[in-house]
Structure 1
Amino acid sequence: MTALGFLYPGHSAEDDYPRIEQLLGSDVRVDLVHTDIGEDARRVDALREMGSPERLAAGLRDLRLSGADAVVWACTSGGFVHGWDGAHEQVRSLALAAGMPASSTSFAFVHAVREIEARRVAVGATYPDDVAALFADFLRAGGVEVTRVRGSGIVTAAEVGTWGEAELFALARGADTPDAEALLLPDAALHTVAHIPALEKELGKPVLTANQVTVWECLRLADRRVNAPELGALFTREPIVQV
């Protein structure tokens, strides 16, 4: 049994995680702990506070009891707003406090783009434009070329959590560009997992979403590969054969 640990801020799209667990199979367990979101505002100062060491450490107390093999800070904006170096320091502090391998959704996107061997990506963000631009800067710092960034001006995670299929597909269509080799949807408050295969079919390219890449990143940290086509192209790599 591989146990995956996640620190998820507040309550928005956390039901993506039991859905992912079901698709991964019976030998993978997903343990999710909710962290205190503080002020639900898509401002840089509020997002930095949301991912502060104190808030993450408080969530770890419950996660340690689950026996997790690795932990991921399941919040994109709460990572990249610190910049490339600051996000690295955030993850280092998390790993030290947790006593296990750690990462964040921001780095999960960079690693997932490399996994699918994409060089150019488009970004469909629910964030205000200034926050969306910081995500694009983070990707570029990781060596990823960004062809378009579309922000949506949503200022709370609570509102994003109410979005359905129509809003999701409109965002994806509006953000995609012909030269992008993948589309990224970075908000962990956005319900996406049930729609990834349909999005990839419509756009004709891999689609990477926050909760999807977060779980993939935790599997990577735990040295596991799982072939789960219903989770998109990212999960269609051949699993590692245990000998």
Structure 2
Amino acid sequence: MNSSTFIATALADGLLTTLVITLGASAVAIILGITIGYIRVSSFWAFRCLAIIYIEFFRGTSLLVQLYLWFFVLPFFGVTLSPWTVGILGIGMNVSGYGAEVVRAAIQSVDRGQYEASVALNFSRFAMMRRILLPQAIRAMLPAWGNLLVDLLKATSLVFFITIPELTSASKQAADTTGNYLLFFAVALFSYYLIARLLVTPFVRLSERRFSRGFVREAVA
């Protein structure tokens, strides 16, 4: 295998790794973010306190240090996780801390009259959240989630520090090998842009259309 083929293969593998970690961590971030955000506005103070501790920990500490903690420190306590598990869960959990606050703010931004109407109709809190508040809150939170997912994509470059060769490290290796730093860092730069443009942005816009359909019909009616 000549050097050009090796570099191309390394870049392709790095790009694939970045895509897989982005998709996996995004799923973790969305699921945990919505869950923790919902708990954050719970009527049970103990649950709210646990959610606040979770949010403050992941928002208030460095993502890189968190990855080091899961990968290098947990084995001392008998818990060994693979680099891929740490990368996907670690980044996803970090972003979910920010996402939970987005969810909380979106839920609390729903008009107070919606709460009062739900109580008047004798909805349980769970039914009120599922059928009335969350559908409206999701529309409000989607733009902010789009920004968080783009930040998540860029954060995948940190998994190199837990032994996973991804796009940035593959580009650095190619640049070191050839001496052409401009070319390969430009490749990395535009690759991240294209992933955000072709993957994250369409997902957010599709979600916005999906959750706006009922409201548009009501407005027309």
Q: Which has the higher contact order (CA 8 A, sep 6+)?
A: 2
User: How high is the TM-score relative to the length of structure 1?
Assistant: 0.28
> Which of structures 1 and 2 has the bigger CA Rg?
2
Where is the strand percentage greater, Structure 1 or Structure 2? 1
